[in-house]
Amino acid sequence: MTAVVRGRFLTLEGGEGTGKSTQLPLIAAWLRDAGLTVVETREPGGSPGAEMIRELLVNGPTDRWDPVTETMLHFAARREHLERTILPALERGAWVVCDRFADSTLAYQGYGLGVARDVIGDLYRMVVGDMKPDLTFILDIPPEIGLKRADDRQTGGTRYERMDEAFHGRLRDGFLDIARRETDRCIVLDATESIDAIAARIRQHIETRLMTPQS
């Protein structure tokens, strides 16, 4: 019997209004056209239990949770997401494309809300283990532009969109610092470029890093 080749795990990261949810279906469609099985998902959420926790995290007042409590809720949702959606898909050979993963927890709750890096690291090791995305695209945009885009959607805004300007500045700095620390995995893209230009850059990086046979 032919062994199933484990799938690949791609993540999209960035602050509010960076265009992650726009790019995700474009990536997925392109991968499917290449003959791959693709699972599209998101965090927080991505499985029934995780979606229930998502409602607690993205709705309500901005100060609804203590930052450590909030971090633990994200990792509780992540555990459900991994066990119910991500790991089974990878094991059957599908490619998983996810809107946010653990980098968002480090950026939002760590850099943004001040939860210690070692606390987040300990939770990561307990919940996720040594697994990491194969490739992470960090969509970067000045916070004022991203928040204007988010506001233009007229959805009322999540808890995170309603947090103050200083938070969103720390958030952007956090994502860029994560990328500097993990250049082998993270690619920063200018989210002020056109949708088509960003999609083309993402495709190019996936082809080069994950689809081209390495000598």
How confident is residue 4, by pLDDT bands cut at 50, 70 and 90? Answer: confident
Q: Domain for residue 94, yes or no?
A: yes
| Among candidate residues 174, 173, 151, 154, the one with its CA nearest the CA of residue 162 | 151
Q: Domain for residue 1, yes or no?
A: no
Token pair 């470029």 is at which residue? 193
Task: Give just the sign of the alpha carbon dihedral 193, 22, 102, 137.
Answer: negative
pLDDT tens column, 115-162:
999 999 999 999 999 999 999 999 999 999 998 887 777 566 789 999
- 186 - beta bridge partners? 136
pLDDT tens column, 162-189:
999 999 999 999 999 999 999 999 999 9
pLDDT at 151: 76
| Higher-confidence position of 215 and 135 | 135
| Among candidate residues 92, 99, 81, 95, the one with its CA nearest the CA of residue 39 | 95
pLDDT at 156: 63
pLDDT tens column, 24-61:
999 999 999 999 999 999 999 999 999 999 999 999 99
CB contact at 8 A, 145 and 193: no
Q: Domain for residue 198, yes or no?
A: yes
pLDDT at 18: 94
Residue 64 has pLDDT above 70, yes or no: yes
pLDDT at 215: 43
Q: Domain for residue 20, yes or no?
A: yes
Q: The domain that contains 26 carries what CATH number?
A: 3.40.50.300
pLDDT tens column, 83-128:
999 999 999 999 999 999 999 999 999 999 999 999 999 999 999 9
The residue range of the domain holding 114 is: 9-211
Q: Domain for residue 2, yes or no?
A: no
Overall domain count for the chain:
1
Q: Domain for residue 159, yes or no?
A: yes
Q: Domain for residue 136, yes or no?
A: yes
The model's pTM is 0.93
Q: Domain for residue 106, yes or no?
A: yes
